[in-house]
Structure 1
């Protein structure tokens, strides 16, 4: 029973930490309610220097005018990709997860739907490929509308299904930052 109470206390503390935005260093974008607060707290505090560089990149770059391409943030510890691509239909968007990198996904302009489900409840259809740092699944998840007001974080236990078309938004400009997982 003591472990359950401790876990609940830790969960509440992590949620308060996320809401406090002390991690943001002035970044004005919110975190999606889908984000695992405990895992965010753990990853950030285990690798604070890299996460601070990630949030500084998001705050200090003119993301709306940044050209599609790859951008280094901290060598292999964190790097960014900007895309400006058409959204996918629900049928063509795939569930995925990663083990080496956390996915930070942020819609710069436009809107898209993103599904989130625990890997533990998903069915593997394509096993994990270390070279691509990806596995694919079928899953039942919760869907969110991604807008420029918030970013999403997907940790190794999170299957996610991004890039799904929202009516009225054929093309979406998006930032994906890969942040090395610390175990």
Structure 2
């Protein structure tokens, strides 16, 4: 898991060959004008989910993991969004089988820790990261850029 300012995104290009393109698309798009939903940015290798959501209480946010994609999550509007986090290897309470079509599995474990994301920042989540997004109060617009590993 990485939490940093978008202005520092170039530091992370070397992690994966698609990250430079993904961060370039994040920086060059007016996300306040884009319709909610899924938008292909580079086929299924890089796509984005634009979401207008109401944040939830900690007990209602379940940890999730992915196999095929990394997440770059960015808060577009709203004051802040909290995330629960745990190492995937420590998750022991799955809420069902891994859904390969949706690349997701949810867990009922308690997060090890919480951290806060604000506009102008991003969190980069890897398959090793169990994460419980959308925690807090109020309504936000956020994007989740999915980058195929």
Contact 1:124-1:135 at 8 Å conserved across structures: no
SS in structure 2 opposite 1:132?
coil
The CA deviation at 1:91 is: 1.7
- 1:12-31 counterparts in 2 under 5 A? 28=7, 30=8
For 1:140 and 1:54, the matched residues in 2 are separated by 28
In structure 1, the partner of 2:84 is 115
Tell me: higher relative CO, structure 1 or 2? Use CA pairs within 8 A at least 6 residues apart: 2
In structure 1, the partner of 2:93 is 124
Contact 1:108-1:148 at 8 Å conserved across structures: yes
In our comparison, the structure showing a higher alpha carbon Rg is 1
The CA deviation at 1:87 is: 0.8
In structure 2, the partner of 1:97 is 65
With normalisation by structure 1, the TM-score equals 0.70
For 1:157 and 1:73, the matched residues in 2 are separated by 24
SS in structure 2 opposite 1:144?
strand
The CA deviation at 1:140 is: 3.2
For structure 2, list consecutive stretches of 5 or more residues without a partner in the other structure: none
Closer/same/farther in 2, CA of residues 80 and 157 from structure 1, 3 Å limit? same
For 1:41 and 1:51, the matched residues in 2 are separated by 5
Q: How many residues were matched structurally?
A: 144
1:178 equivalent to 2:146? Answer: yes
Give the counterpart of 1:154 among 125, 139, 145.
125
With normalisation by structure 2, the TM-score equals 0.85
For 2:54 and 2:31, the matched residues in 1 are separated by 18
RMSD across aligned C-alpha pairs, in angstroms?
Answer: 2.5
Contact 1:121-1:139 at 8 Å conserved across structures: no
Give the counterpart of 1:75 among 28, 31, 43.
43
Closer/same/farther in 2, CA of residues 41 and 66 from structure 1, 3 Å limit? closer
